[in-house]
Amino acid sequence: MKIYHGSAVEVPKPLLSKGKPNNDYGRGFYCTEDVEMAREWACKGKDPPGFANSYELSTEGLKILDLSSSDYTVLNWMAVLLANRTFDFDSDVAIEVRDYLMANFMPPIQGSDVVIGYRADDSYFNYADSFVNNALSISRLNEALHLGRLGMQVVLRTERAFECLTYLGVEEVSWGEYHPRYVTRDADARMQWRDVVKKASRAADDMFAVDIIRRGLRHGDQIIQ
């Protein structure tokens, strides 16, 4: 698998210990298979230049959790986020939702060397927060995940995975070209998010977080799939 990491610096030897524990999938090295996305993320800061680091990941023998596969749903992704990211729990219901999803939809992430899954951009993370607080339905959450065309992340989570990583080189990215692209993508996603919120108020027949608890639904139930 060829993967890329957009950064303000060159990263010839990534280290697991350098990863932040409160990222989407916990501590790890966050990459993408999309070089254009890596170039944008390399230039999201205010100061040029940016760097798109490229690697080859030998996946043989690695345990890979692919949350984009048909075995999993957005609720499995939410359970992982709840375990790692910081949410604003506005009510006792939100706390109950958090505990229920983590207890009934947590995928086997602890035994995984690599995780492939949705990306939750910090600048419009509100959709996940809204779902936990019962303000956004499952169908609207699914729709929101595609805002800004963020694509999928490939996250190396264990030392074993890092041992399978080969550095291929780095490309200095044109900040003047890719910073505006990043800004435009972010602005488009925010605008689309407002449209999703408007639709949410009319989605009376949709399933919300509290409905999952009331029905006692769990991972693998057909209605969730």
- Per-residue pLDDT tens digits for 187-220: 877 777 777 667 655 556 688 999 999 999 999 8
| Minimum mean pLDDT range among 72-76, 123-127, 200-204 | 200-204
**Residue of 138, 72, 144 whose CA lies nearest to 105:** 72
Range 22-42 burial, b when 16+ CB lie within 10 A, else e: ebbbbbbbbbbbbbebbbbbb
| Minimum mean pLDDT range among 44-53, 57-66, 69-78, 82-91 | 82-91
* pLDDT at residue 119, rounded to an integer: 78
**Residue of 104, 78, 137, 70 whose CA lies nearest to 219:** 104
Mean pLDDT of the region 123-133: 73
Given a cut of 70, whether residue 147 has pLDDT beyond it is no
Is residue 56 within 8 A of residue 166, CB to CB? The reply is yes
pLDDT band (50, 70, 90) for residue 29: very high
Going by the DSSP 8-state scheme, the letter that residue 57 receives in this structure is E
Distance CA 36, CA 66 (A): 22
Tell me the sheet residues that pair with 126: none
pTM here is 0.88
| Minimum mean pLDDT range among 63-72, 121-130, 137-146 | 121-130
Calculate the CA 5 to chain-centre distance: 15
Residue 85 buriedness (CB in 10 A; 0-12 / 13-18 / 19+): middle
Q: Which two tokens stand for residue 208?
A: 């919300």
Is residue 114 within 8 A of residue 63, CB to CB? The reply is yes
Is it true that the peptide bond before 49 is cis, omega within 30 degrees of 0? yes
- In sign, the C-alpha dihedral spanning 22, 24, 26, 28 is negative
* pLDDT at residue 50, rounded to an integer: 95
